[in-house]
A and B are shown apart, each in its own frame.
Chain A
Amino acid sequence: MPSNITRPDQQHYVAPIEETPVVAIDAVKTEGKPSNLWIDAWNDVRKRPMFWISSALIVLVVVVALFPGLFTQVPPNNDCQLANSNGGPTDGHPLGFTKQGCDIYSRIIHGTATSLSVGIIVTTLVFVLGIVFGSFAGFYGGWLDSVLSRLGDIFFSIPYILAAVVIMSVFSQYANVWVISLAIGIFAWPATARVLRAEILRVKNSDFVMASTALGVSRFRILLRHVLPNSIAPVIVITTISLAAAIVAEATLSFLGVGLPSNIMSWGNDISAAQSDLRTAPQVLILPSIALSVTVLSFILLGEVIRDALDPKARAQR
C-alpha cells in the first residue's frame, strides 16, 4: 500500500487540496459569516446616497408625525382668524394662512400623522392579507389555489380607488383614519398576493424544500421556516411602494370629498379646500401638495433602492 493513501477505503492517490489548481477555482471564503441575500442587499444599499437621503426624509416625516409639538407651537385648527384669509407669511407664521385664516405651516405639520397612519395601516393590511392569500395559494396549490386566486382576481379587477370611493360614499358618516385605511387596503392586497404566489411557485421546488420534506418537517413548518423567508424579497419591495400609493390614495379620496371629514387634519382635505382659490392664492394649494409629494417621493425612492438591491434582474439593468 503506497504511503500517500491515507484512508483505508481509498483506492487512488488524491493530492492534498492545497497542491491542486482546483483550490483556486473552488476558493470559497470560509472565514466570517456566510453571506446571504439580505447581507448582500444591505452592503449594496448602504453605499448608495439615495438610500440615506430617502431614509433621512422618512425619519423626518415619522418624527414630525409623532411629535408635531417639536416643530410648531401654533394650533392648527383653533386660533384661525378670517382676517388672515389666504394671507402671506408673517412673523411666526412662515408659510402664511389658509382661506379660513389658519396657519398653513402648522396644518402641514399636524396633517403628517394622518397621511402616515393611513399609509402604515393600509400597508400592514395589504402585507398580512397578501402573505396569507399568496402563500397559501402558491404553496398548497390545487383547489385552494384556484379559489384564492379567483378571489384575488375579483378584488384585483376593481381599481382600488374606485372601490374605496364606493365604500366611503356608503360609510361617509363613519369616515375616520381606520375606515378609510380599510376601504383602501381591502382592495389593494391582490397585487402583493400575486407577486408572492409567483415567487413561492418558483421556490417551493427547490432542493432545500425537498430536503426538509425528506427530513419529515411538517408542510406548514416548511412554508413558514423555509419557503416564505426565501420568497419574501419581492414582497418587501412592493410593500414599500404600496405605502406611498396608500398615502396618495387617502389624499385623492379626501380631495374627491369622500375621504376624511374636515375636522381631521389631512393634506388631501387642505388641497381640496384650496382649489377654488388657485387663481388668487396658489401657495395655499401648492404648499401642502409639496409636503404630500415629498413624503410620497421618499417612500418611492426607498422602494426603488430596495428593489435594486434585492432583485438581481433590476440590478443587471442598472
Chain B
Amino acid sequence: MAGYIVRRVLQAIPVLLGTTFLIYFMVFAMPGDPIVALFGDKTPPPQVIEALRERYHLDQPFIVQYFIFLGNIFRGDLGVSFSGQPVSEVLASTFPVTLRLAALAIFFEMVAGITVGLISGLRKGGIFDASALVVSLILISLPIFVVAFVAQYIFGIQLGWFRTTVGIGAPMQDLILPALVLATISFAQISRLTRASVIDTEGQDFVRTAASKGLSRNRIVPVHILRNSLIPVVTYLAVDFGTLMVGATVTEGIFNVPGVGRTLYQAIIRGEGPTVVAFVTVMVLIYLVVNLLVDLLYAVLDPRIRYAK
C-alpha cells in the first residue's frame, strides 16, 4: 500500500508541473504582447506597461518566469485582484461557501442517483427504468445555465419556494436550490453508472451463491449487490469534481452565491485576466489533489488495484 501511494504521488508530480506550465504558457507566453493583450481594446500608458512588465518578470527568460510563477503559487501568493485585495484572501473568504454548496450538491446527487440507479438496475427494462432513462437523457442535454434559469423561474419566481438569489452569509436554506441545480448535472451520470454496475454485480457468482444459501432479497440487495456496485461510483466522484467546479462557476453566478465560482465569473466578466488565471490554477491544483485522493481511496476499496503492477 505504501509503495502504491509513493508511486501514485510521484506520478502526479509531472502532471502538476505540466498543468501549471500549460496555464502559464497559455497566458503569458503566447505570440503578441501579453501586457497589451491584458488591456483588451484599451491602450495603457507606457509607464503602466513598464511597471507590469517588471511585476510579471517579463524581462526574465521564459523558464525563469515560470518558476517564479510556480514559486509564488506554492507560497500562496496569487497576486492582487483589480479591487486591490490579494487573490489568496478572496479565495479564503469564498472557498468555504463553495465547499458547502458542493457538499450539498454531492449529497443530493449521490442520494438521488444511487437510489434511482439501484431501482432501475434491479428492475431492468421496467417502466421505472425506462422513465429514469428518459429523464436522465434530458438532464444530460440541458446545459447547466438553462437548468438554473428554469429552476430560478419556476421555484423562485412563480412558486416562491426559494429566494432567487442567495442572501448575505449564504445560509443553508438559500443554498438548497443552487445545490439542487448543481446536482442535476451529475445525477444522470451517477444513476446510470449505478444501474450498469448493479446489473453487472447481479450477474456475479457470489450473488447467486448468496441467494442459494437462502439469504433473503432484503439482505442480498444492500449487502451483496449495492456495496459492490458503489466502487465505480466512488471513482466517478473524482471526475465529478471537475464538473462541479465548472458548474459552480455558472450556478454561483446566476444565484449570486458568494463563492469561488461567482468570484471567477465576475473576474471573467470584468476581464481580470490575472485573477482568472490564479483562480483556475488553484482550481486545477485542487482537482489534481482530489483525483489523487480518490485514486488512493479506490485502492483502499479495491485490493486488485493496489496489487496490480
Residues of chain A whose beta carbon lies under 8 Å from any beta carbon of chain B:
150-151, 153-155, 157-159, 161-163, 165-167, 169-173, 244, 248, 251-252, 255-258, 271, 275, 278-279, 282, 285-286, 289, 292-294, 296-297, 300-301, 304, 314, 316-318
Contact = CB atoms under 8 A, between A and B. Distances in A.
B284 A300 contact: no
Interface string B250-265: 1001100000000011
Contacts of A172: 40, 271
A166 B149 contact: no
A244 B250 contact: no
Contact of A256 (B22, B26, B137, B250): B250
A169 B40 CA distance: 9
Contacts of A171: 30, 37
Contacts of A173: 37, 40-41
Contacts of B253: 256
B206 interface: no
A162 B18 contact: no
B98 interface: no
12 contacts: A150-B18, A154-B14, A158-B280, A171-B30, A171-B37, A252-B143, A257-B269, A271-B146, A293-B143, A293-B146, A300-B141, A314-B196
A157 B287 contact: yes
Interface in B243-284: 243, 245-246, 249-250, 253-254, 264-265, 268-269, 271, 273, 276-277, 280, 283-284
Please indicate which of the listed interface residues B14, B146, B195, B269 has the most CB atoms of chain A within 10 Å of its own CB. Answer: B146
Interface residues of B, number: 55
B280 A162 contact: yes
B146 A292 contact: yes
Interface stretch (B51-59, B105-113, B150-158): B150-158
B163 interface: no
Given A162-B280, A252-B143, A169 B268 contact: yes
Nearest to A159: B242
A292 B254 CA distance: 19
A223 B268 CA distance: 44
Contacts of B145: 251-252, 255, 271
Contacts, number: 139
B138 interface: yes
Chain A at the B interface: SS class: helix
A170 B141 contact: no
B27 interface: yes
A256 B143 contact: no
Contacts of B186: none
A165 B26 CA distance: 11
Given A162-B246, A169-B276, A157 B268 contact: no
Interface of B: 14-15, 18-19, 22-23, 26-27, 30, 34, 37, 40-41, 124-125, 137-138, 140-146, 149-150, 152-153, 157, 195-196, 199-200, 242-243, 245-246, 249-250, 253-254, 264-265, 268-269, 271, 273, 276-277, 280, 283-284, 287-288, 291
Contact of B243 (A159, A170, A271): A159
B196 A317 contact: yes
A165 to B, nearest CB: 6
A161 B140 CA distance: 16
B284 A256 contact: no
